[in-house]
Amino acid sequence: MDMSKRNLLFILFILISVSGIFTYFQTLPSLLEKKPTLLSGKILQKPIEIVDFELIDQDNLRFSNDLLIGKWTVVFFGYTNCPDVCPTTIYKLAGVKEQINKDIPSSKLNTVLVTLDPERDNPERLKEYIGYFDETMLGLTGRQEDIQSFTSSLSVFYQRINKEDGYDFNHTASIFVFNPEGLLFATMSPANTMAELSEDFSVILSNF
């Protein structure tokens, strides 16, 4: 190999090395950026787009992905005949929403209950049930296949358990938080206290 080819290869090596170092330092801040820590769950490393869905609310109005745009939305999956985790979680979310509206008046926090039991939870039943906790909360129902598609996109497990006097469900009890772009942003556990959940939502709304 003559001297000119060696020099050319050496120059190319230097240029590639410099380019790599420049790219590394450009991306370093994002690599080092640390997301706030939540008491009740976690913020996803990257928000996730979910499958398109279309359900109806307690006023028989259509609700789909596009209605997640423009506000923070909190989604919980349950059913009105749920004996324990559902009413306690909905009670906590109603309290969290009230507290957030006081602390951050400009916040646009939307709370949603998606039923896993459309056979019994029609719009009228959802409206009555939600009214006990928070009349501004949305209750969604629809066809079983549409609900199943929505739950599958979020890895929500639920299973019908038949009993002598009817049936119940075993189900995932996570709280799902969607950002104003309509993307899944964080997950939380309803096992935490109302105060802890309120603090976490304050962290999210104040930092993003």
**What integer is the mean pLDDT of 140-152?**
97
Q: Out of 3.40.50.1000, 3.50.50.60, 3.40.30.10, 3.30.365.10, which CATH number does the structure's domain 41-207 have?
A: 3.40.30.10
**Would you list the domain boundaries of the chain?**
1-33, 41-207
Confidence of residue 9 (pLDDT cuts 50, 70, 90): low
Residue with tokens 């929500």: 156
pLDDT at 34: 64
Give ∠ CA 75-144-181 in degrees, rounded to 5: 30
Please give the Cα distance from 133 to 193 (Å, whole number): 17
CA distance 151 to 77: 8
Q: Which residue has the higher pLDDT, 30 or 196?
A: 196
Query: Each residue of 79-130: pLDDT tens digit?
Result: 999 999 999 999 999 999 999 988 888 887 999 999 999 999 999 999 999 9
- Total-model pTM: 0.83
Element (H, E) at 118: none
| pLDDT one-digit tens code per residue, 15-67 | 455 454 444 444 444 444 567 899 999 999 999 999 999 999 999 999 999 99
